[in-house]
Amino acid sequence: MQGSDLIDLGGQVALVTGAGQNAGRATALELARHNAGGIAVNDYVAERAEAVAAEVRALGVPALAVPFDVTDLEAARAANTAITRELGAATVLVNNAGMAGPTASIRPTQNFWEEDPAHWQRYLGTNLYGVYNCSYALIPNMVEAKRGRIVTIVSDSGRVGEAKMAVYASAKAGAQGFMRSIAKELGRYNVTCNSVSLSALMPDMSEEQLAEVTASDHAKAMLSRYTIRRYGKSSDVAALVSFLCSNAAEWITGQTYPLNGGYAPSA
Ligand SMILES: NC(=O)c1ccc[n+]([C@@H]2O[C@H](COP(=O)([O-])OP(=O)(O)OC[C@H]3O[C@@H](n4cnc5c(N)ncnc54)[C@H](O)[C@@H]3O)[C@@H](O)[C@H]2O)c1
């Protein structure tokens, strides 16, 4: 879309990590709808990346699936080479891959001092080193082009703290500090660097499934802390991230935007 569209990517090529489902998928598709020149779809799970790349192509935008583990710097660099060859140099990076990494699910069950230290790396690897690695691989493209956008998806656990999620929270807090710092290095090249801090998102599901989930006592207690009484949606993330990646956001940098329905943490 061009002309009257506020969210205009100006033909830039974007890499979205962890884009095989939910927030990352929605972001990849939204960027494609707003004049991206091409979308590189990363996910650890190759079939997911391929499926979303096909959805992007169906919108008439070139796409390339780049399945790799963001904790692997050499894989990120190899993906950047492939993206440059197939789509052109990527000057937009959305660091969305997160949670407990590619092969584990987040289970906030233990206090920090009781958990197995062997589990720390899964959080630090994807949520912090993954952000370093993809940024390190793509920033030279942006410096060369004298334009660019980096948006990292973080978590309110890292902004306000969350019991039984301390290592994940600290990885997300570290990613925010990293973004604020590289924003200062990259401003002179017209590259902006921001974070979007989420509270609880619901995975993509039907309205019926969502109604069932939100009817539970646990969900009601949780949602009582949200001014807008619903869980976040992938489309909420896609909208703000796309705006921050657009030309309209060229004077916004070094910030962390809470995207959370007015969430207020408990003590
Ligand atoms: N879901 C929530 O409630 C919530 C809350 C706060 C923040 N966040 C953050 O939002 C982002 C998106 O969350 P979501 O719920 O859509 O995630 P999700 O778990 O539904 O999807 C993440 C995708 O990333 C991929 N992935 C994970 N680790 C990877 C790695 N190392 N390399 C490549 N791909 C990898 C997974 O295969 C998966 O397809 C994450 O950064 C997450 O930490 C989520």
* Structural domain count, the chain: 1
**118 assigned to some structural domain:** yes
Report pLDDT digits (tens) over 47-62.
Answer: 999 999 999 999 999 9
**224 assigned to some structural domain:** no
17-26, 27-36, 196-205: which range is least confident on average? 196-205
Residue ID of nearest Cα to ligand 1 atom 24: 18
Give the residue-averaged pLDDT of 10-35.
98
Question: Do residues 180 and 254 touch, judged by C-beta distance below 8 A?
Answer: yes
155 contact partners, CB below 8 Å, separation of at least 6? 98, 162, 168, 169, 172, 197, 198, 199
Give the residue-averaged pLDDT of 11-40.
98
**164 assigned to some structural domain:** yes
Q: Binning pLDDT at 50, 70 and 90, where does residue 123 land?
A: very high
Residue ID of nearest Cα to ligand 1 atom 23: 18
Q: Quote the CA–CA distance of 59 and 70 in Å, as a whole number.
A: 26
Name the residue among 124, 110, 265 with its Cα closest to residue 200: 265
Q: Binning pLDDT at 50, 70 and 90, where does residue 266 land?
A: confident
Q: Which atom of ligand 1 is least distant from the CA of 20?
A: 39
Helices marked H in the chain: 22-33, 46-58, 73-86, 120-124, 130-145, 156-160, 166-186, 207-214, 217-223, 234-245
Residues annotated as catalytic (active site), given as ranges: 168
**241 assigned to some structural domain:** yes
Domain residues for the domain of 86 are 13-205+233-259
Residue ID of nearest Cα to ligand 1 atom 1: 201
Report pLDDT digits (tens) over 195-249.
Answer: 999 999 999 899 899 888 889 998 999 899 999 999 999 999 999 999 999 999 9
The DSSP secondary-structure symbol of 65 reads: E
CATH number of the CATH domain containing 33 = 3.40.50.720
What mean pLDDT is reported for the chain?
Answer: 95
CB neighbours of residue 265 within 10 Å: 13
**184 assigned to some structural domain:** yes
Name the residue among 139, 149, 177 with its Cα closest to residue 251: 149
CB neighbours of residue 196 within 10 Å: 24
**5 assigned to some structural domain:** no
Q: Which pLDDT score, from 0 to 100, does residue 10 have?
A: 95
Q: Binning pLDDT at 50, 70 and 90, where does residue 1 land?
A: very low
**What's the CA-to-centroid distance between 18 and ligand 1, angstroms?**
6
> In the predicted model, is pLDDT for residue 168 greater than 50?
yes
Amino acid at 162: E
Quote the tokens at residue 2.
């061009």
**What's the CA-to-centroid distance between 216 and ligand 1, angstroms?**
24
> In the predicted model, is pLDDT for residue 258 greater than 70?
yes
**What's the CA-to-centroid distance between 137 and ligand 1, angstroms?**
20
Residue ranges around ligand 1 (CB below 6 Å)? 17-18, 20-24, 42-45, 48, 69-71, 96-99, 101-102, 126, 130, 153, 155, 198, 200-201, 203
The residue assigned the tokens 């958990």 is 115
Q: Quote the CA–CA distance of 252 and 198 in Å, as a whole number.
A: 18
Give the residue, out of 42, 96, 99, 231, with the most ligand 1 atoms within 8 A of its beta carbon, to mutate for a pocket test: 99
153-157, 186-190, 194-198, 208-212: which range is least confident on average? 208-212
Of all residues in the chain, the percent with pLDDT exceeding 90 is 87
Q: Which pLDDT score, from 0 to 100, does residue 100 have?
A: 86
**151 assigned to some structural domain:** yes
The DSSP secondary-structure symbol of 32 reads: H
Question: Do residues 66 and 40 touch, judged by C-beta distance below 8 A?
Answer: yes
**4 assigned to some structural domain:** no
Report pLDDT digits (tens) over 70-105.
Answer: 999 999 999 999 999 999 999 999 999 999 888 888
Q: Is the dihedral of CA 247, 175, 155, 159 positive or negative?
A: negative
**What's the CA-to-centroid distance between 31 and ligand 1, angstroms?**
18
67-76, 105-114, 150-159: which range is least confident on average? 105-114
